[in-house]
Homo-oligomer: A and B are copies of this chain.
Amino acid sequence: MTAAANQSGRRPTTSRRLERAGIRDVAAAAGVSITTVSDALNGKGRLPDETRSRVREVAERLGYRPSAAARTLRTGRSGLIGLTVTTYGEEPFTFTEFAYFAEMARAATSAALGRGYALVVLPASSRHDVWGNIALDGTVVIDPPDQDPLVSELYRSGVPVVSDGKPGNCPVTAWVDNDHEAAVLGILDHLSEAGARRIGLLTGTSTDTYTRLSTEAYLGWCGKVGQEPVYEAYPAHDPAAGAVAADRLLARPDRPDAVYGLFDPNGTDLLAAARRYGLRVPDDLLLVCCSESDVYAATEPPITTLSLKPRRIGTTVVNLLIDAIEGVDSGTGVDIARLFPPRFRTAGNGPPPGTLMPTELIVRASSQPRSPRTTINPPRPPGEV
C-alpha cells in the first residue's frame, strides 16, 4: 500500500461509488501523493513531464473536477466579481432597464471572463441576504449615490470596489466615468451651430452623478450664453413619466426650439410629443438624446444620439478592479499583492484615482442645420441602415 493510498484510506466503506472523485482519489489511482496531483494539475512544483501527464490522464479518466469551494477557501480567491447598480429609484431591479446598463454589463462580463473572472449580479439593497453568502474578490458599483452605505460596508469588509460614475463620498478603490460636462457642452454647442435659439433639457429627478453633472453643465451653459433655462425633470426609472415630461416640455409657453434628453427613451418620447404638436424635426425642433440604442438610426427622422460608450466603460471598470484584486499596478507591473493583501490597499489617503472617458456624438438628421426643404420621407439608398 502506498503512502498516498494510506492518506486517502479513511473514507467510509459505504456507498463510495456515489461520491464525486476528489483529489485524494486521483492520488490513490495514480499512485502518487496529493501534493503531486495538485502540482501536476496546476502546473506547479518540479515534476517530470511523464508524471505530470500521467496524473492528468488519471484525473481525466476519473472525471475529476477540483472543488471550487475548497480552492476558494484555501487561496482566498473566488474568481467572482459583484456587479450592482444602485440608483434609478427603489425598484428591486432596474438593471438592464436601459440599453446602457445592458451594454455595459455585457462588456464587463466579457472583460471579466477574459481574465478568468465571472460576474455576479447583485442588488444594491437587501443587506446580508445574499451579499454575505458570496465570496467576492471585488465589486463593480454602477452610479453609487453619495455616502453609499453599501460601498462603505464593502470597504469595511475589505472588498475592493471600482465604481462606474464618479463617487460622491465613498471609499472606492478607483472609479471611471464619462466626461459628462464636456459631453453636454458639446451637444449644446452643436445645437447652437445648427441654429437653435432656445435649447431645452429633459432631465431626471434623481441625485446620481450623471443627472447632476449633466444638469449643472446645462445650467452653467445657460448662464454663460444668457439663455433662460428651459427644462423638465422626471423620475427616470418610470418609463411612462418620460412621455409626460416630454409633452410638458413642448407644451410650455417658452417652448424650446431644440431639446436634449438625458435618457434613452427620450428620443421616441420627444418625437411622439413633437408629432402631437405638429412640430417638424428638425425644421421646427432640433433633437438630441443620450442613447445606446440603434433604433434611432431608423426612426423618422433618424435622431442624433450621444453615446456614453458603455462597452469601453465596462471593460475599463473591470480591468481596473482586477488589477486591484491581483495587485498589479498597470503602470509599473509591480506585484503588490505579495506585499499587502488587496483589502488594505484602498486605505490610501487622498481621493481615489479616477479616469474620465470621452463620449461620442452620433450626428443624424434630427440635428441637421435647418434647411427650407421638408424632411418627410427623404430618399435614402437601401443599403443605409
A contacts, CB < 8 Å to B: 18, 20, 63, 65-73, 78-80, 92-93, 95-97, 102-103, 105-106, 109-110, 113, 116-123, 126, 129-130, 132-135, 156-158, 239-240, 243, 247, 268-269, 271-273, 275-276, 293-295, 298-300, 341, 344, 377, 380, 382, 385
Known: A95-B106, A96-B96, A120-B119. A20 touches B65 (CB 8 A): no
Known: A65-B157, A156-B63, A272-B298. A118 touches B134 (CB 8 A): yes
Known: A72-B72, A95-B106. A344 touches B118 (CB 8 A): no
The 5 A-B residue pairs whose C-beta atoms are closest, nearest first, are A69-B72, A69-B73, A68-B135, A96-B102, A268-B298
Closest Cβ–Cβ distance, residue A234 to chain B (whole Å): 13
Residues of B within 8 A of A80 (CB): 120, 134
Number of copies of chain A assembled together: 2
Residues of B within 8 A of A18 (CB): 341, 344
Closest Cβ–Cβ distance, residue A64 to chain B (whole Å): 10
Given A65-B157, A116-B129, A116-B133; 15 other pairs, CB 8 A cutoff: A20-B158, A68-B78, A68-B133, A69-B78, A72-B73, A93-B110, A96-B106, A105-B121, A119-B120, A120-B120, A247-B382, A273-B382, A275-B377, A276-B380, A276-B382
Closest Cβ–Cβ distance, residue A130 to chain B (whole Å): 5
Establish whether residues A135 and B295, one from each chain, have CB atoms under 8 Å apart when the complex forms: no
For A104, give the chain B residue with the smallest CB separation. B96
For A379, give the chain B residue with the smallest CB separation. B276
Residues of B within 8 A of A276 (CB): 380, 382
Establish whether residues A385 and B243, one from each chain, have CB atoms under 8 Å apart when the complex forms: yes
